């Protein structure tokens, strides 16, 4: 009898501890543009995320690290990516800031939350298991369970390349036919049920690999969006810009950046034909080319809507279990829209003789065994009103749409928060919310001091002290310091200067007007680089070149 009483007390105590702790859901989209969501000015149907924004806050200046791996490293550790060992991609360059996997001098939020009584789960993309360290898996770095792909990018129809860890855990019978975004959510819901069985608070990292290429979605949803994009990218940019003005996301005197430049195409013979050229006018394209591009963007939009639908499944589950109001939900993108690699996108299964699909074959786009991107033209529209794209440190590359829904702490609903922050701050905020301490040492290793800072004061409606933020990826650099921002791209190889308060679309380079400011901020960048294992851009980093998009072979569409 006494033993039964003790067990009941223990169970009640465990339930009370779980009730006291805030559940945390961190949702990351892959290559989502700044203005894609409805609540950020887009025409894509995203009612679930729009509702989270309406009941929470939208950040206009949350900065990422310009690319998948570096952003994920910062998001998981609260450090600049180089300090965590992932300043580039997953190739091991033998340099401290560019190992391609999380080093031993950082610790993940998952590890610290697990130490603090949380169940920790990752459903989706990890992308921190470097070629030099295959042991850097989610379950080795603090997650109790994992389901997702280890590829940089992965077919949404190939169930065989999505993995379960620990390996002895049974795989679910996921919704069929298999589609990755749906399957990732199936596991996320399973993980939440697992935490409830143990009466534990939980940290769910829901890292969708959509809408990263390959562009793949059910045909009926693609068809729904065709008419949206017949007007072309120039008109879409104008419409998004005007909607953003009405939503109060951008100031009335902000200029829409010019149609973007096409970036350099690495390791492709055709790159030199496009380098430095402006994205073509939509009205100047042939009808065949337009038909092809319309379907690419429609496929992308369908992928974004499916992500929103699946986030809706998670929100419904939280509400059904009475957890929605005591759960902190973060949503953001890992970088800006993806311009890889020319105005019209690329194909893993090239058209015969590089010609367009015939009309009868267009319906195949986005279906199983196809592999497309949407190119620079649409990426430029998806990053409205900003300049440039993923890879680069202009605003279009490093600005994330970001939503925080946290009823317990949020002051005011539907708030637009304009304070600048960095993804490493999200990690610090999660630790603050969970009451988890950040260590100086772990497993006999000295841990780098936390560089992110908690955003909880901002969430509660308070102003936070400004600070300088730094960026580097592939030699692309930036410094954001109060109203000033300097930018260095790997193809111009010189510093530019912008008044980011008046000119966040970076249309007027003021470097020649204020050389002393450029010099001062460049010196700051050099000092930061030396302290954070950042290499000068003259060092050539090895990585997979773009031709390796062919490593994941799929069957070409049947000939007609």
pLDDT attached to residue 549: 22
Least trusted range by pLDDT, from 285-294, 342-351, 417-426:
342-351
Q: What is the mean pLDDT of residues 253-275?
A: 67
Closest CA to 366 of 420, 302, 460: 302
pLDDT attached to residue 362: 83
**Do the domain assignments include residue 13?**
no
CA 143 to the chain's CA centroid: 20
**Do the domain assignments include residue 511?**
yes
Known catalytic residue: 68? yes
Highest-scoring range by mean pLDDT, 1-10, 48-57, 83-92 = 48-57
Q: What is the mean pLDDT of residues 185-208?
A: 97
Least trusted range by pLDDT, from 132-141, 421-430, 432-441:
132-141
Catalytic residue among 39, 69, 106, 127: 127
Sign for the CA dihedral angle at 360, 366, 371, 373 comes to positive
Measured CA to CA, the distance from residue 344 to residue 290 in angstroms comes to: 9
Q: What is the mean pLDDT of residues 104-125?
A: 97
**Do the domain assignments include residue 3?**
no
**Bond from prior residue into 166 cis (ω within 30 degrees of 0):** yes
Domain enclosing residue 119, as ranges: 22-551
pLDDT digits (tens, 9 = 90+) for 235-245: 999 999 999 99
pLDDT attached to residue 151: 77
**Do the domain assignments include residue 286?**
yes
% the chain with pLDDT above 90: 73
Number of domains present in the structure of the chain: 1
- At residue 327 the predicted structure's pLDDT band, cuts being 50, 70 and 90, is very high
**Do the domain assignments include residue 10?**
no
Residue 112 has pLDDT above 90, yes or no: yes
Residue 296 has pLDDT above 70, yes or no: yes
**Do the domain assignments include residue 458?**
yes
- At residue 127 the predicted structure's pLDDT band, cuts being 50, 70 and 90, is confident
Please name the residue that has the structure tokens 């070149």: 545
**Do the domain assignments include residue 336?**
yes
Going from the C-alpha of 68 to that of each of 153, 194, 247, 334, the distances in angstroms are 10, 29, 29, 6
Measured CA to CA, the distance from residue 348 to residue 368 in angstroms comes to: 13
- At residue 350 the predicted structure's pLDDT band, cuts being 50, 70 and 90, is very low
DSSP summary character for residue 349: S
pLDDT attached to residue 358: 53
Catalytic residue among 68, 69, 106, 136: 68
CATH number at residue 505: 3.40.720.10
Q: Which residues of 246-256 are buried (b: 16+ CB within 10 A; e: fewer)?
A: eeebbeeebeb
pLDDT attached to residue 91: 82
**Do the domain assignments include residue 17?**
no
- At residue 342 the predicted structure's pLDDT band, cuts being 50, 70 and 90, is confident
Closest CA to 252 of 262, 241, 260: 241
pLDDT digits (tens, 9 = 90+) for 439-463: 999 989 999 999 999 999 999 999 9
- At residue 145 the predicted structure's pLDDT band, cuts being 50, 70 and 90, is very high
């Amino acid at each position: 009898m006494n033993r039964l009483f003790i067990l009941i007390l223990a169970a009640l105590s465990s339930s009370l501890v779980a009730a006291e702790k805030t559940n945390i859901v961190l949702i990351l989209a892959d290559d989502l543009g700044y203005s894609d969501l409805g609540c950020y000015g887009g025409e894509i149907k995203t009612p679930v995320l729009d509702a989270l924004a309406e009941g929470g806050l939208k950040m206009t200046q949350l900065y990422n690290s310009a690319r998948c791996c570096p952003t994920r490293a910062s998001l998981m550790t609260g450090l600049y990516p180089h300090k965590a060992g992932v300043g580039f991609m997953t190739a091991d360059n033998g340099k401290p800031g560019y190992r391609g996997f999380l080093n031993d001098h950082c610790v993940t939020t998952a590890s610290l939350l697990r130490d603090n009584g949380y169940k920790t789960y990752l459903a989706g993309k990890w992308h921190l298991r470097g070629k030099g360290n295959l042991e850097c898996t989610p379950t080795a770095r603090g997650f109790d369970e994992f389901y997702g792909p280890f590829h940089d990018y992965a077919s949404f129809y190939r169930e065989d390349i999505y993995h379960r860890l620990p390996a002895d855990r049974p795989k679910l019978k996921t919704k069929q036919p298999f589609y990755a975004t749906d399957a990732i959510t199936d596991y996320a819901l399973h993980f939440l049920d697992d935490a409830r069985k143990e009466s534990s608070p939980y940290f769910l990292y829901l890292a969708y690999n959509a809408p990263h290429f390959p562009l793949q979605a059910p045909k009926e949803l693609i068809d729904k969006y065709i008419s949206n994009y017949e007007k072309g990218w120039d008109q879409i940019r104008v419409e998004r810009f005007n909607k953003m003005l009405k939503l109060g996301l951008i100031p009335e005197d902000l200029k829409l950046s010019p149609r973007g430049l096409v970036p350099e195409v690495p390791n492709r013979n055709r790159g030199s034909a496009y380098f430095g050229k402006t994205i073509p006018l939509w009205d100047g394209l042939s009808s065949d080319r337009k038909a092809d591009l319309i379907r690419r963007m429609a496929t992308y939009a369908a992928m974004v809507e499916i992500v929103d639908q699946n986030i809706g499944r998670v929100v419904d589950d939280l509400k059904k279990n009475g957890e929605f109001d005591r759960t902190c939900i973060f949503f953001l993108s890992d970088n800006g829209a993806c311009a890889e690699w020319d105005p019209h996108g690329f194909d893993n299964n090239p058209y015969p003789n590089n010609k367009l699909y015939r009309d009868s074959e267009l319906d195949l786009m986005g279906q199983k065994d196809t592999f497309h991107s949407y190119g620079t033209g649409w990426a430029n529209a998806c990053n409205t009103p900003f300049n440039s794209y993923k890879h680069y440190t202009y605003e279009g590359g490093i600005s994330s749409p970001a939503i925080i829904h946290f009823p317990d702490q949020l002051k005011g609903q539907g708030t637009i928060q304009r304070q600048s922050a960095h993804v490493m701050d999200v990690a610090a905020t999660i630790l603050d919310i969970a009451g988890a301490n950040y260590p100086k040492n772990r497993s006999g290793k000295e841990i780098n001091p936390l560089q992110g800072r908690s955003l909880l004061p901002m969430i509660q409606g308070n102003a936070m002290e400004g600070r300088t933020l730094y960026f580097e990826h592939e030699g692309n650099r930036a410094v954001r310091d109060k109203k000033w921002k300097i930018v260095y791209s790997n193809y111009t190889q010189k510093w530019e200067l912008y008044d980011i308060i008046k000119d966040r679309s970076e249309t007027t380079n003021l470097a020649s007007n204020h050389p002393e400011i450029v010099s001062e901020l460049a010196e700051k960048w050099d000092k930061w680089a030396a302290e954070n294992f950042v290499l000068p851009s003259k060092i050539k980093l090895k990585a997979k070149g773009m031709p390796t998009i062919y490593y994941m072979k799929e069957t070409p569409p049947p000939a007609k």
